[in-house]
Chains A and B, each alone.
Chain A
Amino acid sequence: MLAIKTKNLTKKYGDKTVVNNLNLSVNEGEMYALLGVNGAGKSTTIKMLSCLIRPTSGDAEILSNSITTESTKVKQIISVSPQETSVAPNLTVKENLEFIAGVFGFSKAQAKEKTQQILADFDMQEIANSRAKTLSGGWQRRLSIAMALISEPKVIFLDEPTLGLDVLARRELWKQIEKLKGKITIILTTHYLEEAEALSDRIGIMAHGVLKAQGTATKLKELAKTDDFEEAFVRIAGGEV
């Protein structure tokens, strides 16, 4: 079954077309990476799919629910971990998780139970009572993803989840993201090509608001006639292919 299907999804700001007739499909349980240089339209695509902004034209279905006419249903089954770390700074790790669970409608008892579970899944028991603002960047990102998962979404959008993290923190987060593979549908946007190559089942490359190509990393390298994924990305995004 398809988790996401976009139909000529388009977003314009005035005369500028940021996303242009996007047609992509993501299978249920798949990890799909959306790659592109700055201004390619990745974040705008994520914002449309997560009902944060309305498309100018076109539509998309998240597990058969339209983002334009059934946004309330869509919001119940998706979750977003935004580009910037978005945690409540004066709340503890535990309180942040319980807060998000409560906002998504779980009872107090359920929220507590889910929090304990996710604290264990993300190895965060030791920092459970630390205030979020005291955590390192890597731990804050981990918390941010955990907050996105506590509502038990069917589809999760990870917008630049490792941006600004050092190599060790990034690798640690990769491990956490890899654990999710197959369990839920994950849409990942990233600037790090090796991240997309290592984590994703399929990759879509966007440039100037258009989906230039999509497929597995191997398929994209074949398409660009190179063994190097970075080179493949440059050729596809640069319009040489």
Chain B
Amino acid sequence: MRTLVFAKRNAKEIMRDIFTLIFGILFPLVLLVLLSAINAGIPEQAGMKLFDIENLVPGISVFGLSFIALFTATIVSKDRCTSFILRLFTSPLKASQYIIGYTLPLIPLSIVQTIVCYAASFAFGLKWTPDVLLAIVVNIPVAVFFIATGLLCGTIFNDKAVGGVCGALLTNLSAWLSGTWFDLELVGGAFEKIADMLPFVHAVDAGRYALSGEYSKIMPELYWVIGYALVITVIAVIVFNNKMKQDK
């Protein structure tokens, strides 16, 4: 009950922030429109498939989820940097209830964001198949990874620094190293190897395989994401608990 009360408060704080709407929903849609427009101008003879909607939308949806990390980090760090958390620490809320309370509202928000992204893609030629639902489900572990990353960043950094770390660094990393904007094989070398060791490209590829119905290829990609999500979640919980004790 207490956890739900806390989660409800967090949901309201996040949803009533205009930046949630701008970066969480509108920005990915704007990118979808722009890149689809660019794609429409590329002659078919060029053989450029990267911005075809079934390749593009999994990438945009993962990029959109990177902003979920920013929202998580912002609310956690703001609470920590003001006395609000002190007030809560004198309440009977337990450490696990804080973590669940912060995480809970962001799961449905991530799912809604992904659904909006895929729904908008129908206007740009995405065909409806049950695989679209599978691609949306595939994004859930991706969302957990970004939420855990946000929890970790919000616990470590102050509210100004999270804007730089999550707002700029993480979103750029997730964009450049995801294979959404350019083919990583074209760059090759160390860049491709680094990208391959991080979860972003695997998250996008899992979505692409889900959309294309290549089911056997989904899990090998998703294992990377789940692995990162688990490790970051555990680290985030440990750091959160330790940091909260220190902040006291």
Contact = CB atoms under 8 A, between A and B. Distances in A.
Contacts of B91: 75, 100, 103-104, 151
B90 A105 contact: no
A228 B98 CA distance: 48
B89 interface: yes
7 contacts: A52-B90, A80-B86, A87-B84, A88-B12, A103-B88, A104-B91, A147-B87
Interface in B67-102: 82-84, 86-93
Given A50-B90, A82-B86, A85-B83, A99 B13 contact: no
A81 B6 CA distance: 18
Nearest to B89: A52
A91 interface: yes
Interface string A67-95: 00000100110111111111111110001
Identify which of B12, B17, B83, B90 gathers the most chain A CB atoms within 10 Å of its CB. Answer: B90
Contacts of A79: 90
A10 to B, nearest CB: 17
Please provide the 9 A-B residue pairs with the shortest distance between their CB atoms, ordered closest to farther: A102-B5, A82-B83, A86-B83, A84-B83, A90-B16, A86-B84, A80-B90, A86-B87, A82-B86
A83 B87 CA distance: 10
What's the interface size class on B, roughly? 20 to 34
Contacts of A120: none
A51 interface: yes
A76 B1 CA distance: 16
Given A103-B6, A103-B93, A86 B1 contact: no
Interface residues of A, number: 33
A53 B89 CA distance: 10
B12 A90 contact: yes
A72 B92 contact: yes
Given A72-B92, A100-B91, A88 B86 contact: no
Interface in A140-160: 147-148, 151
B5 A103 contact: yes
Contacts of B217: none
A47 interface: yes
A105 B91 CA distance: 10
B160 interface: no
A105 B2 contact: yes
A148 B8 CA distance: 20
